[in-house]
Chains A and B, each alone.
Chain A
């Protein structure tokens, strides 16, 4: 086995099929983290449904102040969610930052 890429580690164990409760939570947290940008993209796409300009249909156009409030509100909420996820991931990854890597992230 002299040419094997990781002779120090020996053969790699295949990951277990079932995880303990804590590990399971961690995985779901990662799933949630992956959903954040999708959620954000969807919310930022909502203004596309608003009537744009006076020329279109009979609906009154959305006032700029409401648009600003909506966009910046969603923006701030996304930041808040990112803060919370950062905190949560900090708790389980430990000081060395090596936790939670591996199989879960590799197929991301």
Chain B
């Protein structure tokens, strides 16, 4: 039988080994030769601090009491790990990109670096974890006492041994957890020691399990038969508890400060998650594989009334396997110590960063230039915090009497820590989550948890039986374990149901009603869309910042050498030859991240803002950014407009070019036409004048006839030349208008008479005399010229058998409009554009004029301030003359 002294010796030797390993790992990491320290294997093993002494010893006891329900504690984390792609990957990425130091830091950082939230989470964590630490102390003491009972010669005092265990663990945590104040905040020594302990506890439990199955029961088959025949031989799990505890374990796995510490803060490489995603569930599976067999064998072997929580230890002892018992003891010892060390470290970081440092900063006021080393203050705060937390655990253990009440505290702690979950998940996935929402959710959840689970659960008369029975002040629906009159639920299920649902509801409702600050919204975007932009927030404008002040402050926090190195590197990166870098926003941001690794995001933000003057992320800045984007948008739309304008211009140019080409062709045609037109009368004039000159004895009537022909042809020539002259005068703008007043009806009468005199074909003219009784002021002769031309055109070109010209007068949009519409076939569409150009003519063979009439009309009308245009879409040819109405008088 191993004596207690041997046990203590082995224990001390084991602790010494851990010290050595942690020390060596820290040295290796400092020397930069730590590749294997950063392997996924170490990461996975470090996650195993999830399995505390409560699970190492307690799982067997749990199984002996309620069958397979113990497995839910491991199923929750398994589901979280295999779903790493969904949640953990994002959590780790956020943790790394924001350099968070704890779960409180993460929550505070997400919700606008709010210190109130950080304090809230820290208090919640301390309240939840302190009893948990006491539980570890209890398990170590209990395992000691088992050996002490077996060794009659020893003097074992429970209280003393608990004290020494607590003190030893505190020393270890202080030595390795607060050695450095890295920006990374990674503790290779501790992590490596934890990994070794993980191996020890797995080997120990597997060893006991294998011994039980093959050594005691005689193989798998007989073991299974024995299980079925035992007290826990049938499936008899409370359904509500099964689901609730699975959920709780999953939530606690993410939210527990120590889990967050190893999973996110100590994470070296995001890719380690990929391995841990299957390796850690495998570890959990192996840890729980032999739990039921050990419980069953323990129940049948051990005497009635022995503590099932210690079967792992007592079975080997009872069967004389002292080596195995020793290994098993070391396994339990490892579970307890690793949990306590990491939990104390994580909690101390939270306490020092979110409670001690802000108070210290505030007490100093703006006096950061007062001499003193912030670095030592932070480290001291952490060391004291660790000691205080261990004292809390010790005190809790002593006060609670270390009895069975402690055993249930594990799940109670889980339920408390899980209250962080809504704020955490909401913060990672919902941009609308706000600080007030998170605060409300946390307070509601925390309050309900304390009221419905913690106070009734810890016993010790904190809550009187009367209150449990009939509610406070006799109000029945406020009974702690039957809120709102819902009775009959398992207390755990009841508490988790109400606290989590009301927590989430408060979180959502307040978030929906609240309006977050700019910094909060910025951080929210950074967290939720972390994969889109892993670059950090630009938090500072540096115009007021003083590099020297920053340097002084950083030296105090990071240590002189490291700060100088950092500043020098930054100066080099900026291309500056001076020792101090310019305080650019990028530099300030990196500095804040680096500092936040030491003192937490909120404190780092506060410290820099003390020196820099203000956080630059104000509403004005957001507006500025928005303005900038708006300007960009405007610029691009201007560009678009310009390009559209260019293409429009190009189209017009193309059109003009086509027109020019066409006009040039027309001109060529005209030249030949004009030569022809001039030549035809000239030829007949010449011919007839030669006849008159050369013919002797011509009859007088022939002479007269020939002379008439010569006269007519000469008149035609004159008219042609008159037209050309007229046009050139009109075009050059030298025409003088002879404005006079007259009646439109009279003008039209005269025009129709003039145009149709001597016409070879009859043209009926339809008019509306009433509409024409309009007094107008214009150059009536010129206007009459236009009318005559249009009427004559209709007379000449209308190809209907019974040609009719309709003249309509009406007022259109403030203009007097006179339409001339005939019933012929009209002008082919190709010619619409060219109709009013000089020398244009439709159907050359029919034409008697030179194609100048319409051109002259348009020139005249433009001089008169109106226009003449072709009206497409009528039954026949149609022209519209429009006149300005400013000279128009009311109808008679």
A contact residues vs B (CB 8 Å cutoff):
1, 3-6, 12, 30, 33-34, 36-37, 40-41, 44-45, 47-48, 50-54, 61-68, 71-72, 75-76, 78-83, 85-86, 89-90, 93, 97, 101-103, 105-106, 108
- Do residues B234 and A63 form an inter-chain contact, with CB atoms below 8 A? yes
Cα(A66)–Cα(B233), bound, Å: 10
- Do residues A3 and B85 form an inter-chain contact, with CB atoms below 8 A? no
B contact residues vs A (CB 8 Å cutoff):
67-68, 71, 75, 78-83, 85-87, 89-90, 224-225, 227-228, 230, 232-239, 242-243, 246, 269-271, 274-275, 277-278, 281-282, 285, 289, 292, 429, 529-533, 535, 537-538, 585, 621, 624-625, 628
Which residue on B lies nearest to A6, using beta carbons? B535
- Do residues B233 and A81 form an inter-chain contact, with CB atoms below 8 A? no
Cα(A101)–Cα(B93), bound, Å: 11
Interface centre among A68, A72, A80, A89 (most CB of B within 10 A): A68
A97 interface neighbour in B228, B271, B275, Cβ under 8 Å: B271
Contacts of B532 in A (CB 8 A): 12, 102-103, 106
- Do residues A71 and B78 form an inter-chain contact, with CB atoms below 8 A? no
A102 to chain B, nearest CB (A): 6
Contacts of B529 in A (CB 8 A): 106
Which residue on A lies nearest to B632, using beta carbons? A1
- Do residues B535 and A37 form an inter-chain contact, with CB atoms below 8 A? no
A34 interface neighbour in B83, B292, B535, B538, Cβ under 8 Å: B83
Please name 7 pairs of A and B residues whose Cβ atoms are closer than 8 Å in the assembled complex, sorted by A: A5-B538, A6-B535, A40-B78, A47-B237, A53-B236, A78-B82, A82-B281
- Do residues A50 and B235 form an inter-chain contact, with CB atoms below 8 A? yes
- Do residues B531 and A65 form an inter-chain contact, with CB atoms below 8 A? no
Cα(A6)–Cα(B529), bound, Å: 14
- Do residues A52 and B533 form an inter-chain contact, with CB atoms below 8 A? no
Which residue on A lies nearest to B85, using beta carbons? A33
Which residue on B lies nearest to A40, using beta carbons? B79
Evaluate whether A44 and B224 lie within 8 angstroms (CB atoms) in the complex, with A5-B533, A97-B271 already known: no
A64 interface neighbour in B86, B233, B242, B625, Cβ under 8 Å: B233
Cα(A42)–Cα(B289), bound, Å: 21
- Do residues B275 and A79 form an inter-chain contact, with CB atoms below 8 A? no
Contacts of B238 in A (CB 8 A): 52
B620 to chain A, nearest CB (A): 12
When A and B form their complex, which 9 residue pairs have the shortest distance between CB atoms, in order from nearest?
A: A37-B83, A106-B531, A82-B278, A61-B234, A62-B235, A33-B85, A65-B224, A83-B278, A53-B236
Contacts of A83 in B (CB 8 A): 278
Evaluate whether A63 and B228 lie within 8 angstroms (CB atoms) in the complex, with A79-B285, A101-B531 already known: yes
Contacts of A44 in B (CB 8 A): 75, 79, 246
Evaluate whether A90 and B90 lie within 8 angstroms (CB atoms) in the complex, with A5-B538, A47-B237 already known: no
Cα(A71)–Cα(B289), bound, Å: 10
Interface centre among B75, B232, B289 (most CB of A within 10 A): B75
Which residue on B lies nearest to A49, using beta carbons? B239
Evaluate whether A67 and B235 lie within 8 angstroms (CB atoms) in the complex, with A33-B85, A90-B274 already known: yes
Cα(A102)–Cα(B529), bound, Å: 9
B755 to chain A, nearest CB (A): 69
B91 to chain A, nearest CB (A): 11
Which residue on A lies nearest to B428, using beta carbons? A108
- Do residues A37 and B235 form an inter-chain contact, with CB atoms below 8 A? no
- Do residues A37 and B82 form an inter-chain contact, with CB atoms below 8 A? yes
- Do residues A37 and B285 form an inter-chain contact, with CB atoms below 8 A? no
B289 interface neighbour in A63, A72, A82, A105, Cβ under 8 Å: A72
Cα(A67)–Cα(B225), bound, Å: 13
- Do residues B274 and A89 form an inter-chain contact, with CB atoms below 8 A? yes
Contacts of A62 in B (CB 8 A): 234-235
Known: A34-B86, A47-B237, A85-B277. 6 other contacts (CB 8 A): A3-B628, A5-B537, A45-B243, A51-B235, A64-B232, A64-B292
Contacts of B225 in A (CB 8 A): 65
- Do residues B242 and A47 form an inter-chain contact, with CB atoms below 8 A? yes
A14 to chain B, nearest CB (A): 11
Cα(A45)–Cα(B244), bound, Å: 11
Cα(A52)–Cα(B281), bound, Å: 27
Which residue on A lies nearest to B40, using beta carbons? A86
A105 interface neighbour in B81, B90, B281, Cβ under 8 Å: B90
Cα(A18)–Cα(B724), bound, Å: 69
- Do residues B270 and A47 form an inter-chain contact, with CB atoms below 8 A? no
Contacts of A75 in B (CB 8 A): 75, 78, 281, 285
Cα(A89)–Cα(B274), bound, Å: 8
Cα(A107)–Cα(B85), bound, Å: 11
Contacts of B530 in A (CB 8 A): 106
A102 interface neighbour in B71, B531, B621, Cβ under 8 Å: B531
Contacts of A3 in B (CB 8 A): 538, 585, 621, 624-625, 628
- Do residues A34 and B242 form an inter-chain contact, with CB atoms below 8 A? no
Cα(A99)–Cα(B227), bound, Å: 49
Cα(A86)–Cα(B276), bound, Å: 10
- Do residues A64 and B67 form an inter-chain contact, with CB atoms below 8 A? yes
Cα(A10)–Cα(B78), bound, Å: 41
Which residue on A lies nearest to B232, using beta carbons? A64
B236 interface neighbour in A45, A52, A80, A103, Cβ under 8 Å: A52
Evaluate whether A105 and B282 lie within 8 angstroms (CB atoms) in the complex, with A36-B83, A40-B78, A67-B235 already known: no
